[in-house]
Structure 1
Amino acid sequence: MNTAPFLDIEAQLKSIQQLIQTAKFNDAIEQGQKLQQQISDTQEKIQLWYLIAVAQRYEKTFVQALESINELLKLDESHSRAYQEQGYNYLALKKSPQAKASFEHAVELNPSLMASWQELIELYRDAAQMDEVQKVANQLAKLKSLPPALLAVTELMHEGKLLKAEQICRHFMQNNKRNIEGMCLLAEIGIELKIYDDAEFLLSSALELAPTHVYARSQYLNLLIRIGKFKAAEQQVESLLIEQPGNLSFKVAKANILTGLGKIEQAIELFEQVITEDQQVAGFHLQLGHALKAKGDIDKAVAAYQQAYKLSPNYGDAYWSLANTKTYRFSDEEINEMQRQQGNEDLALTDRVQLHFATGKAFEDRKDYKQAFQSYQQGNKLQHDHNGFDITKIEKQIAEQIKFCTPELFQHRGNLGLNSPDAIFIVGLPRSGSTLLEQILASHSKVDGTMELHNVLGLAARLRGRSNQSEKQGEQHSQYPKNLAEINPDYFVRFGQQFIDETRAYREQAPFFIDKMPNNFLHIGLIRLILPNAKIIDARRSPMACCFSGFKQLFAEGQDFSYDLEDIGRYYQAYLKLMAHWESVLPGHVLTVNHEDVVDDLETQVRRMLDFCGLEFEQSCVDFHKTKRNIKTPSSEQVRQPIYKSATEQWQYFEPYLTSLKKTLKID
C-alpha cells in the first residue's frame, strides 16, 4: 500500500501549524485552502478546518473563521475546541451572549479546557452571575491543582484519544505510584476501553491507599455495577451512604444493586423513595421502570418510562425502553415527537441512536417495513461508527481458540477443575431464544435462574493479559487461550471454586443455577477446564432470523458486532465454526437446542434439556410462562407468554433490504 500521500498530507498539516506558530497567518490560510482540494479523510478534514479557523481568527477575519468552524462542526458536532474557537470569535465581534454559549458548550464537551473556563469567569462576572463565577473558580482551582501531565491526560480523554491518554498516564504513574488522581484517571481510561480487570485493580488499590476518597469509591461502585459484581458493589454503596446519607445518586446506585441481586421489591421501594425526594429527574423514573419491568409489572413500568420522557422530551432511553418492552405500541403523537427530536441538532449521540431504534420498532408494529428498516439502519450506522468495531478481531479470537483448545489440552488437563455440577450455562448469540430456554429450566424446582453473569468473561480477560506494545498499535496479542496449557494446574480448581463462590449471591436454595451469558460460547474450553461437570446448552436460531433480530436490538453493551449486517453475518459464521470445533474436541459436552424446534414441539425439547441436565421431568417447565421470576433481558415479556410462532420468520418482511446479510451468510 502506498503511504506517500498520507505522509505528504500529514507533513502539510504540520507545515500549516508551523506557519501559525510563526505568525504567518495569511500563508497558513492559503496553504490550508489548497490542501482542502487534496484530502478526503474525515479526520484530516476536521484537523484542517480547525487550523484554518485558528489562522483566520489571528488574521482578524472573524466572520470567515466562524464559517470555517461551522464546516468543521458539520463533520464533528462534538469537537470541544471548535466551540472554544467559536467563543473567541464571538468575543472579538463583541457578541457576549453567543460567546458565553460557545464556551459553555466547549466545557460541557471537555471540562478540562482551562482557556474556556477562564473566559467564562469574566463573562459571568460581567453579567453579575456571581454563583456561576464561584462554580467556575472552583473548577479552575481543581484543574490547576492537577499535575500538568494529568491535565493533558484529562484533555486527551475528553477528545477521545484514549490510547495516547493511557500512555501519558502510565508514564506519569511510573514516577508517582501513589497518586490517587492518576490511578482514578487510568481506571477511567480502562473502563472506556472495556479493560475492566485493570480498572478494578486500580480502584481497589486506590481505596487501600485512601479509604476516605469519595470519588475513587464512587467510581469503583459504578464499575462493580457495570460488571455485575453486585455483592461487592453493595459493600461500597453502604460505605458511601454512611459518608453521605442524603446523596440521591448513591441511593439510586443502591436500588440498582438490589435489582441486580434480585431484591426487586426493595429496589422499587427505594426508587420510589428517591422520586419522592426529587420528582424532576427523568433518569430516576427510567430506573424505576427497569425494576418494574424485571418484576413483570409492565403497566407501571410503561407509566414510569412515559413520565421520564415527559420530564425530558429528548430522552432517547425512555422511548427505547418503551420499545424494548416488545409489547408497547407507540401513539401517533409519540412517533411525531420522536421524529421531531431526531431533528434536534444539539441531541446527544446516545439519545439519537435510541430514538432511531425506538422509531424503527414503532413503524415495524405498524407494518411499515420500509420506514422501519430505514430507522433501524440509521440507528445501527450511528452506533457502528461510534463503536469502531472490527470483526477481524473476533475472527482472530476464534481462530486462537481452535488452535490452542486441542484434544490434547482436554486429555491432559480436563479433570483438574472443580467437580461441582451446580452450573448450567446457556450460550449462543443474543436474540437466539436463550431467555426462553432459561425460563423453561428456571421453572424446574431444582434450578435457579440468575442473569447474564460476567464471571467467565472476567476470568478470560484476566488470563488474556495485555502487551504495552500491542496497546500502542491498537491491537491485542493475548496470552489466552495459549496459556491454558501452561498455567499452574492448581489454578483450574481455584478458578472453578471462585466462580461458584462469586455467583452464590445470585442464587436461592436450588442445587443448580443458570448462567445465561451468550458470549460464553467463546470460552467453552475454559468452562470445561474449571468446571468439568457443568452443563452447557447452545441456544441456536436460524441464521437470518437470529442475525436480523440482533440488528434491530439496541444492546446495553457488549454486542458491538450487531450494528452492521455484514459484521453480524460474519460473527454468526464464526460462531458456527467454533461450535463445530467444540463438538469435535469435546463430543457430547454441549447440547444444541434449535429455537425453531422448541417452537414446533415444546415438550420434546423440554425433555431433551432436562435429560441432558440430569433432571426429572416437571410439567412446570412446559408451563414456563406461569413461572413468576425476575427477568432482566429484552425478551422478559415474551417469555411470560405461551409459545408463539409469529416471531420465527419476522425477518422475511424485511427481506428486500437484507441482501448483504444473505450474501455474507451464503444464503441463496
Structure 2
Amino acid sequence: PKLENSPYYQDMAATLYTRLGLHEKAWPLLKRANELQPDIDRLEAGLAACAVNLGKIKTAKTLYNRLLHRHPHHQRNHYALAQLERAQDDEHVKQMQSVLESTQLPPEKNIFLYYALGKELEDLERWDEAFDYYRMGGEAAAAESRAAGYSVDQDIELIDHITRVCNEHWLAPGEASLRPENPDRVPIFIVGLPRTGTTLTERIVSSHTRVESADETFFLRIAIKKVSGVESRDAMNTRIVEYAANRNPDHIASTYLNAISYRLTDKPWFIDKYPENYLYLGFIARAFPQAKIIHLRRNPMDACFAMFKQSYFRQAYTLDDLGRFYVAYDRLSKHWKDILGDRLVEVAYESLVSDLEGETRRLLDRLGLEFQQSCVDFHLNRAPSATASKVQIRERAHTRSVDKWKNWEQQLQPLREHLEASGIAVD
C-alpha cells in the first residue's frame, strides 16, 4: 500500500518526528492518520498532544473532550485537559471526582486524577482541597517510585559527587586549553529547577532575531554519558561523571553539536533549555568556552511547591524528599557560582515577571545581544514547545505565581523549617 494511505505508517512517521522535537512536521501526518482511521483513541490523543505543543489549545481542548466523551474514565486525558487552561468552574472537578467514586481503584491507579484535581481546585482557589489531592498524588507516586528502587539519596549523592569532581582545579586547565570549532556559533544554556521560569526566559531570548531555540533536549547529558564510555542503564550516575570528567571536553562538544545540529538553522546563537542541565555546568564551561549560561532562581518555597504539584518529579513526591533535595541543589548552585563567576548569568524569576522589560534589557546586555522589542512581546512567538510550561508561554508574563506558596503556609511549615534549618532563607 502507498504509505500516504496507511494510518499505521503516518502515525509511525509522526511519532519519530515528535521524538525528534519536530512537532510541525508531525502535525500533518497525525491529521492524515486520523482522517484515514477516525475515532481511534491512540491516534486522536497523539493529535491532541501535538496540538498542545504547537499552541493550538482550542483544538486540543476539543479533541480531549471528544476522547473523554467516549471514555470518561481515562485518567491521562483528564490530566491533559486540566493542564490546558485555568478552570473557571467546577464542572470538570465534579466529573473527575465522579470517576474516583465510581471506579474505586487503589491510589497508585489514580495518580493522574489526583494531580488533575489538585490543579483545577487550585485554579478555583480551593486551597486546602487542592493540597489534599496533591498530597495524595505524591504519596501514590512515591510508593510506585520506591517500589521501582528509587531513593532521593541517589540524587543527593550524584549532586555531591559532581561538586567534588567538577571543582575549580579541574575546570581551569580544561577551559583554558580549548579552541571552539565555530566561534561564531554561540550556545545559550538555560538551566534551573523545573517551574522556575526557564521556559519563559527561553521564549524571551529566542524571540530575538539572532537567536533560535532547540527547545528542550537531552543531548548534553547523552554526550557526557557517551564520551564517558560507561555502559549503564542509568541516564546519569557518579561513575559516568567520574569518567567523563577525565575525557577530552572537545569530544563532549563535538558529540553534542552533531546530535543537536538537525534542530538548528544558520542563526549565530541557539538555545538549549533543559532545566536539569544545572548538574552539568562545569562540563558546559569546559566544552564550550564561548557558551552563555543562564541560571533561573526562584523563591525556595515557590520553587519547591511548584515541583510538588507536578506528577513527574520523583524528588518532589513528598515534602521530606523535596526539602532534602532542594538543600543539595542549593549547595550545588552556590558551588557553580563560586567557580564560574561572571560566566554564570543568574536571573530571579520574581524580578523577571515584575519588571519584564527592565530585566530583559539587563539579560540581553549580559549575553551581548542588543535589545529588541520582540523579546518583551515573547507571547507572540508561535514556535512549538513541548515543555511542561507549553500552555503558559502562550500568555503574557504575570505575577500570579509569586509567593503563591503562602496559600498553603500551614501545610508547608515542615518544608519551611527544614530549609531554614539548613540556612536557606525563604522570605
Q: Give the TM-score normalised by structure 2.
A: 0.89
1:396 to 157, 178, 181: 157
Task: Say whether 1:439 aligns with 2:203.
Answer: yes
Secondary structure of the residue aligned to 1:479 is helix
| Unpaired runs of at least 5, structure 1 | 1-240
1:627 matched to which residue of 2?
381
Task: Say whether 1:339 aligns with 2:97.
Answer: yes
Amino acid corresponding to residue 268 of structure 1 in structure 2? W
Determine if contact 1:417/1:496 at 8 Å carries over to the other structure.
no
1:514-564, Cα deviation, whole Å (9 max, x unpaired):
111111111111111211211110011111111111111223xxx321212
Determine if contact 2:118/2:132 at 8 Å carries over to the other structure.
yes
Secondary structure of the residue aligned to 2:342 is coil
1:493 matched to which residue of 2?
250
1:158 matched to which residue of 2?
none
> 2 CA distance for matches of 1:622 and 1:452?
21
Structure 1 residues 328 and 500, CA, compared in 2 at 3 Å: closer, same or farther? farther
1:255 to 7, 14, 21: 14
What displacement does 1:450 show? 2.1
2:340 matched to which residue of 1?
586
1:547 to 304, 317, 321: 304
What displacement does 1:509 show? 3.1
What displacement does 1:276 show? 2.3
Structure 1 residues 351 and 508, CA, compared in 2 at 3 Å: closer, same or farther? farther
Structure 1 residues 351 and 442, CA, compared in 2 at 3 Å: closer, same or farther? farther
Task: Say whether 1:659 aligns with 2:402.
Answer: no
What displacement does 1:655 show? 1.6
Structure 1 residues 330 and 305, CA, compared in 2 at 3 Å: closer, same or farther? farther
Task: Say whether 1:285 aligns with 2:44.
Answer: yes
What displacement does 1:634 show? 2.6
> 2 CA distance for matches of 1:323 and 1:632?
16
Structure 1 residues 514 and 353, CA, compared in 2 at 3 Å: closer, same or farther? same
Task: Say whether 1:533 aligns with 2:290.
Answer: yes
Secondary structure of the residue aligned to 2:28 is helix
After TM superposition, list the pairs within 5 Å mapping 1:416-435 onto structure 2. 416-417=177-178, 419=180, 420=182, 421-435=185-199
Secondary structure of the residue aligned to 1:583 is helix
> 1 CA distance for matches of 2:278 and 2:267?
25
Structure 1 residues 337 and 418, CA, compared in 2 at 3 Å: closer, same or farther? farther
> 1 CA distance for matches of 2:292 and 2:220?
14
Determine if contact 1:314/1:347 at 8 Å carries over to the other structure.
no
What displacement does 1:608 show? 2.1
1:10-46, Cα deviation, whole Å (9 max, x unpaired):
xxxxxxxxxxxxxxxxxxxxxxxxxxxxxxxxxxxxx
Amino acid corresponding to residue 392 of structure 2 in structure 1? Q
| Unpaired runs of at least 5, structure 2 | 421-425
2:355 matched to which residue of 1?
601
1:133 matched to which residue of 2?
none
Amino acid corresponding to residue 523 of structure 1 in structure 2? Y
1:451 to 215, 218, 224: 215
Amino acid corresponding to residue 138 of structure 2 in structure 1? N
After TM superposition, list the pairs within 5 Å mapping 1:112-511 onto structure 2. 248-261=7-20, 263-329=22-88, 331-332=90-91, 334-343=92-101, 352-388=110-146, 389-417=150-178, 419=180, 420=182, 421-462=185-226, 478-484=238-244, 486-487=246-247, 491-511=248-268
Give aligned pairs, total.
415
Structure 1 residues 483 and 305, CA, compared in 2 at 3 Å: closer, same or farther? same
> 1 CA distance for matches of 2:102 and 2:176?
59
> 2 CA distance for matches of 1:562 and 1:283?
30
Determine if contact 2:225/2:244 at 8 Å carries over to the other structure.
no
Determine if contact 1:440/1:624 at 8 Å carries over to the other structure.
yes
Amino acid corresponding to residue 458 of structure 1 in structure 2? I
Structure 1 residues 266 and 329, CA, compared in 2 at 3 Å: closer, same or farther? farther
Structure 1 residues 574 and 274, CA, compared in 2 at 3 Å: closer, same or farther? same
Determine if contact 2:161/2:238 at 8 Å carries over to the other structure.
no
What displacement does 1:442 show? 0.7
1:167 matched to which residue of 2?
none
What displacement does 1:265 show? 4.3
Secondary structure of the residue aligned to 1:536 is strand
Secondary structure of the residue aligned to 2:409 is helix
Amino acid corresponding to residue 628 of structure 1 in structure 2? R
> 2 CA distance for matches of 1:481 and 1:268?
38
1:562 matched to which residue of 2?
316
Secondary structure of the residue aligned to 2:296 is strand
> 2 CA distance for matches of 1:427 and 1:616?
22
1:28 matched to which residue of 2?
none
What displacement does 1:400 show? 1.1
- CA-based RMSD of the aligned residues comes to 2.7
Point out the structure with max Rg over C-alpha. Answer: 1
Amino acid corresponding to residue 478 of structure 1 in structure 2? T
Amino acid corresponding to residue 622 of structure 1 in structure 2? V
Amino acid corresponding to residue 608 of structure 1 in structure 2? R
Structure 1 residues 329 and 598, CA, compared in 2 at 3 Å: closer, same or farther? same
1:172-229, Cα deviation, whole Å (9 max, x unpaired):
xxxxxxxxxxxxxxxxxxxxxxxxxxxxxxxxxxxxxxxxxxxxxxxxxxxxxxxxxx
Determine if contact 1:407/1:585 at 8 Å carries over to the other structure.
yes
Q: Give the TM-score normalised by structure 1.
A: 0.58
**Is 525-534 or 425-434 further displaced after alignment?**
525-534
Determine if contact 1:317/1:351 at 8 Å carries over to the other structure.
no
Determine if contact 2:166/2:282 at 8 Å carries over to the other structure.
yes
What displacement does 1:465 show? 6.2
Q: What is the aligned-residue identity percentage?
A: 28
> 2 CA distance for matches of 1:412 and 1:572?
31
